Structure 1
Amino acid sequence: MAKLLYAFSCSVDGFIAGPGGDMSWLTPHLGPDPVVDELIPDIGALLVGRRTFEGDDPHRGTEAEGKAFGGGWDGPQFVLTRRPAPATPGVTFVGDLAEAVEAAKAAAGEKYVNVLGADVGRQCLEAGLLDEILALPVPVLLGDGVRMFDHPGGTTIALEPLRPNWYRVAGPRLV
């Protein structure tokens, strides 16, 4: 069965987006990455937050704008949202996290469901649904923005290293 993987690029100080969700900081750092190139064929579906789906795109102004992994991946996308959304080919809008995860896993088969968006990643952690995390640090400090994981008051979630920057969520899981 499919596993949920929260894979993301982040600044060294832990931000996946700048203030207001700005992704332009990432644009100069896009390019071939052997880890991403190896991962892409193993992704069967995306589970995406609504803000991420509608948000800023580091590929803005290029042929790859609006395409997952800069156009390197194509497949079913499941967007977690409670707001009505216009029909989009290849995209299913789902209002419930458990239903979205179930649908994405079914679509992914034996491959990964790649989670995109800090809020969806946090929700998956809190629900005990996230299996693995792949953090791709980028050599920049942003100082402010959207953290890859934010839990006011703090919490500790144990991660078991699988390979460099790749971890299994070991627990304890948030309740």
Structure 2
Amino acid sequence: MARLLYSATMSLDGFIAGPGGDMSWLTEFLGPNPAVEELIGEIGAILVGNRSFRGDDPHRGDVEREGKAFGGGWEGPQFVLTHVPPAEPVPGVRFVGDLDSAVAEAKAAAGERYVNIIGADVARQCLAAGMLDEIFVCIAPVLLGDGVRLFDQPGGAMVKLERLSLTEAALASNVRLRVVG
């Protein structure tokens, strides 16, 4: 059965996007990362939040990579959690209106592989619902100061994590964690 994994690149001060969802900061930290390449090979489907799907792209202006999952490094079924689907269909993308249905459909599509979550709000919802299995974070050597946090739940409960791996790449440190409670 597929498992849910939230992956993101985060600044050292805990932001995955700058103010207003700006992703341009990330461009200089995209580069060879064997742990990310391995992760991409483990993904069977993507579950993405509406803001992330419609939002800024660190590959903006790169015709080959813009608008593609992992900059074109991954292809497969994508599910967007949204209450407002676009008027025109998007090839390879299914728009789903509720979390339980989106997770069920993405898991079915992923088979034995991971459902990779993209988007802080979807990850927070999955964590709160007890659905999130793992977290993979690339920590970029930068302080953004403001923006969208990796997890933002003021007053939320503590969640224990177990470290599965800690690796280094040229432009980031990677940590992979299991949600244990």
TM (norm. structure 2) is 0.93
- Report how far residue 42 of structure 1 moved: 0.7
Residue of 105, 108, 112 corresponding to 1:106: 108
Q: Which residue of 2 aligns with 1:34?
A: 34
- Report how far residue 163 of structure 1 moved: 1.1
Unaligned residue ranges in structure 2 (runs of 5+): 167-174
- Report how far residue 152 of structure 1 moved: 1.2
Q: Which residue of 2 aligns with 1:81?
A: 82
Structure 1: which amino acid aligns with 2:18? G
1:116 and 2:114 correspond: no
Distance in structure 2 (CA, Å) of the matches to 1:66 and 1:32: 19
Distance in structure 2 (CA, Å) of the matches to 1:48 and 1:33: 22
1:72 and 2:82 correspond: no
Query: What is the SS of the residue equivalent to 2:180?
Result: strand
Unaligned residue ranges in structure 1 (runs of 5+): none
Distance in structure 1 (CA, Å) of the matches to 2:52 and 2:14: 17
Distance in structure 2 (CA, Å) of the matches to 1:39 and 1:167: 13
Within 5 A, what are the aligned runs for 1:118-133? 118-133=120-135
Distance in structure 2 (CA, Å) of the matches to 1:69 and 1:83: 24
Structure 1: which amino acid aligns with 2:113? K
Q: Which residue of 2 aligns with 1:22?
A: 22
- Report how far residue 2 of structure 1 moved: 0.5
1:147 and 2:149 correspond: yes
Distance in structure 2 (CA, Å) of the matches to 1:54 and 1:79: 10
- Report how far residue 23 of structure 1 moved: 0.3
Q: Deviation string for 1:13-51 (max 9, x for gaps)?
A: 110000000000000111111111111111000000000
Structure 2: which amino acid aligns with 1:51? R
Q: Deviation string for 1:73-123 (max 9, x for gaps)?
A: 000000000013130000000001000000000000000000000000000
Equivalenced residue count is: 171
Structure 2: which amino acid aligns with 1:45? A
Coordinate RMSD, CA, aligned: 0.7
Within 5 A, what are the aligned runs for 1:153-168? 153-164=155-166, 165-168=175-178
Residue identity over aligned pairs, in percent, reads 68
Distance in structure 2 (CA, Å) of the matches to 1:41 and 1:91: 19
- Report how far residue 154 of structure 1 moved: 3.9
Distance in structure 1 (CA, Å) of the matches to 2:158 and 2:112: 29
Query: What is the SS of the residue equivalent to 1:99?
Result: helix
Structure 2: which amino acid aligns with 1:167? L
